[in-house]
Amino acid sequence: MNVSMEQAFGVVEFLALIFVVVAGLMAVAVVILFIVDRTQTEDAIRRNYPVIGRFRHLFSELGEFFRQYFFAMDREELPFNRAQRDWVGRAGGGKSNTVAFGSTRNLALPGTPIFVNAPFPPLDDQYASTEPLMIGPTARKPYLAPSIFNISGMSYGAISRPAVQALSRGAKEAGVWLNTGEGGVSPFHLEGGCDLVFQIGTAKFGVRDQNGGLSDEKLRAVAAHDTIRMFEIKMAQGAKPGKGGILPGAKVNEEIARIRGLDVGQDGISPNRHREIDSFDHLLDMVSHIREVTGKPVGIKTVVGAEEPFRELFETIARRGSDAAPDFITIDGGEGGTGAAPMPLIDLVGMPIREALPLVVNLRDEFHLRERVRIIASGKLVNPGDVAWAIASGADYVASARGFMFALGCIQALKCNKNTCPTGITTHDPRFQKGLVVKKKYKRVARYAKAIQSEVETIAHSVGVSEPRLMRRRHVRIVQPNGRSVPMNKLYPGYNTTTPS
């Protein structure tokens, strides 16, 4: 088609007009921003460098994402590095986790665990396999838990409906339990048919009476669900020991209000501790009461700050008798995560799981409660080596929340405390939730759980035992600052002298 010179000049003039208009609008916008920045009094950078100063905030906001994808090495990031996240991603996707050429892990880093391979490991037909282990032998309905690796507490409200649905269905397929978190049990927890641990937080959501106390009637109603296998009294959380939480009333819709036992629009306030519990005697009273009302195993979740309070706990159990003991104790490390918590508590309060776990295990064994009280380890234990370390340290089970978040597709966007999680896991915005397709993600949850158990069994086989819980501290060496490794049973000797630690 031939175009006349007049038509060509017309097009050019039209494009030039558009350019002038756009440029004019941009100039007006710059002038307005200049005036706004120069006159505002909150930000000194923007006041002194109008318009240009805004780029500082933009680059600061984008910096964490550029570091994650372009600059950080495989094992440099916190709270979880790329190597950890990629392992979970491959396991959840059903892909091989074999690697080539050599390890990218710095094995000289102090604190690195190195497992001691047996000179004559069992043959392949004697492969290590996990045995079910009973929790709550004195309860009317004890729980024979099949898996060493399970899903830690994440409440509906903190995570989205499709996230809970995917976790529930995935837990059922993998044969692991799912902890409800302190928000109560929702229909989405139940629909998958998995084993559930009902967590009772300080606000007692789901089992509270009109005054915020514990309702026996609601306890019985919850316990009537066959899939509710155990109850966990949450005393403290690793990310925020001694600090309660608030679910803003704006988020308490009719559904969440019904599940948590609140009024629509009412703030869901979790006190910093249970009002009824101000001593270990009171704690054991509540454990015994809930076990009697529900007939099911009851344990506690807490964080270690020092040895003395836990010694007092076990002394109280010894005085009252082993029947008064909690059926399990979940030890959450100070490095544990949450949707939102003050930075000083996340960074500075609570003993890390690497130190806390051996301490509590030793106290339990010292008071001859090894078969009575099970220990569950929690806190950044997301890869096979982490889980195997915890089992060798004396844990009976390991529970993870963030590992399963990665399996769901978490990209560590660090938006958990906002309603803008891009993967739909920690948001109630339908726009983002639609990205989390339950029928796809629950398979990833199941494959990740199974891969962890399989790889831990591989480590157990390598050190020469027939079941992961037969691993002991002598099977692990810990790298010291001088670069040499020391057997863990030398650093943290076990109490039980009849069974080598």
The string of pLDDT tens digits covering residues 52-68 is 877 766 666 665 565 55
DSSP tally for the chain: helices H, then strands E? 17, 15
Same domain, 188 and 313: yes
Q: 93 falls in which pLDDT band (50, 70, 90)?
A: confident
Looking at the structure, do residues 170 and 315 belong to the same domain, yes or no?
yes
Indicate if the pLDDT at residue 353 is higher than 70.
Answer: yes
- Domain annotation covers residue 61: yes
Do 193 and 317 reside in the same domain of the chain?
A: yes
Of 71, 93, 115, the position where a domain reaches its end is: 71
* 439-463: average pLDDT: 92
pLDDT confidence band for 211 (50 / 70 / 90): confident
In a domain, 398, yes or no: yes
Could you tell me if residue 300 is inside a domain?
Answer: yes
| Region of poorest pLDDT, from 65-74, 285-294, 295-304, 318-327 | 65-74
Lowest mean pLDDT among 2-11, 104-113, 225-234, 447-456: 2-11
Is the pLDDT reported for residue 130 higher than 60? yes
For the segment 243-255, what is each residue's pLDDT rounded down to a tens digit? 566 666 766 778 8
Average pLDDT over residues 286-300: 97
Is the model more confident about 499 or about 161?
Answer: 161
Q: Which tens digit of pLDDT belongs to each residue from 374-405?
A: 999 998 898 999 999 999 999 999 999 888 88
As a whole number of angstroms, the distance between CA 442 and CA 449 comes to 11
Q: Are residues 218 and 346 in the same domain?
A: yes
Q: Is residue 95 part of a domain?
A: no
Q: Look up residue 369 and give its two tokens.
A: 């409660």
Asked if omega into 79 is within 30° of 0 (cis), the reply is yes
pLDDT at 248: 65
* Beta-strand runs (E) in 201-281: 228-234, 245-247, 268-270
What's this model's pTM, rounded to 2 decimal places?
0.82
The predicted-structure confidence for 157-203, as pLDDT tens digits, reads as follows: 778 888 999 999 999 999 999 999 988 899 999 999 999 999 998 88
User: Is the pLDDT confidence value at 1 over 50?
Assistant: no
Average pLDDT over the chain, rounded to whole? 83
Domain assignment present for residue 499? The answer is no
Residue type, 156: Y
- CATH of residue 334's domain is 3.20.20.70
Residue-range definition of the domain harbouring residue 435 = 125-491
The last residue of one of the domains, among 25, 48, 71, is: 71
| Percent of residues in the chain assigned helix, strand, coil, to nearest 5 | 45, 15, 45
Q: How many domains does the chain have?
A: 2
